[in-house]
Amino acid sequence: MYDYDLFVIGGGSGGVRCARVAAGHGARVAIAEARHWGGTCVNIGCVPKKLLVQAAEYGAFARDSRGFGWSATEPMHDWAALIASKDAEIARLNTLYVKLLEGSGVTLFNAHASFLDPHTLLVGEQRITAARIVIAVGGQPTRLAIEGAELGVVSDDAFYLPSLPPRVVIIGGGYIAVEFAGIFRGLGAQVDLVFRQELPLRGFDDDIRIALAEALADQGIRVHAGVSPVRVEAALDGGRHVALSDGRTLKADLVFFATGRAPLTTALALERAGIATQPDGAVTVTPDHATTQPNVFAIGDCANKLNLTPVAIAEGHRLADQLFSSDIKRDWSFSPVPTAVFCVPQVATCGLTEAQAAARGPADIYVARFTPMRHVLSGRHRKTLMKLVVDQASQRVTGAHMIGDDAAEMMQMVGVAMVAGATKQDFDRTIGIHPTSAEEWVTLRTRTRVAGG
9 near 268, Cβ under 8 Å? yes
For the chain, give the number of residues.
Answer: 453
What was the pLDDT predicted at 453? 75
- Looking at residue 283, the DSSP 8-state letter turns out to be B
Q: Are residues 79 and 155 in the same domain?
A: no
What was the pLDDT predicted at 161? 97
Burial class (CB in 10 A: 0-12, 13-18, 19+), 225: middle
31 near 8, Cβ under 8 Å? yes
Identify whether 198 is part of a domain.
yes
What was the pLDDT predicted at 408? 98
Q: Is the peptide bond before 165 cis (omega within 30 degrees of 0)?
A: no
Identify whether 113 is part of a domain.
yes
What was the pLDDT predicted at 377? 95
What was the pLDDT predicted at 199? 98
Identify whether 415 is part of a domain.
yes
Q: Which of 282, 300, 324 is the last residue of a domain?
A: 324
Active site residue 434: yes
Identify whether 349 is part of a domain.
yes
Q: Are residues 351 and 409 in the same domain?
A: yes
- Looking at residue 68, the DSSP 8-state letter turns out to be G
Sign of CA dihedral 394, 398, 404, 410: positive
Identity of residue 108: L
What was the pLDDT predicted at 353? 98
What was the pLDDT predicted at 327? 82
199 near 210, Cβ under 8 Å? yes
> Residues with Cβ < 8 Å from 167, sequence gap 6 or more?
189, 190, 192, 239, 251, 252, 253, 254
Q: Are residues 252 and 114 in the same domain?
A: no
Q: Are residues 220 and 303 in the same domain?
A: no
| 126/73 Cα distance (integer angstroms) | 60
Q: Which of 212, 232, 259 is the last residue of a domain?
A: 259
337 near 426, Cβ under 8 Å? no
| 270/265 Cα distance (integer angstroms) | 8
Q: Which of 324, 352, 376 is the last residue of a domain?
A: 324
Residues in a beta bridge with 235 = none
Instruction: Domain of residue 99: give its range.
Output: 4-141+262-324
Q: Are residues 133 and 95 in the same domain?
A: yes
pLDDT along the chain (453 residues), means of 10: 97 97 97 95 96 96 94 91 97 94 97 98 98 98 96 96 97 98 98 98 98 97 98 96 98 97 97 97 96 98 94 96 86 93 97 98 98 94 96 98 98 98 98 97 97 88
Q: Are residues 345 and 429 in the same domain?
A: yes
Q: Are residues 63 and 189 in the same domain?
A: no
Q: Are residues 250 and 292 in the same domain?
A: no
212 near 218, Cβ under 8 Å? no
Q: Are residues 183 and 252 in the same domain?
A: yes
Q: Are residues 389 and 442 in the same domain?
A: yes
414 CB neighbour count, 10 Å cutoff: 26
Given the residues 224, 289, 401, 434, select the one marked as catalytic.
Answer: 434
Identify whether 333 is part of a domain.
no
Identify whether 407 is part of a domain.
yes
Which element (helix H / strand E) includes 251?
strand 249-252
Residue 350: CATH number of its domain: 3.30.390.30
Residue 13: CATH number of its domain: 3.50.50.60
Q: Are residues 13 and 65 in the same domain?
A: yes
Identify whether 330 is part of a domain.
no
Q: Are residues 70 and 46 in the same domain?
A: yes
| 424/390 Cα distance (integer angstroms) | 7
Identify whether 199 is part of a domain.
yes
Number of domains in the chain: 3
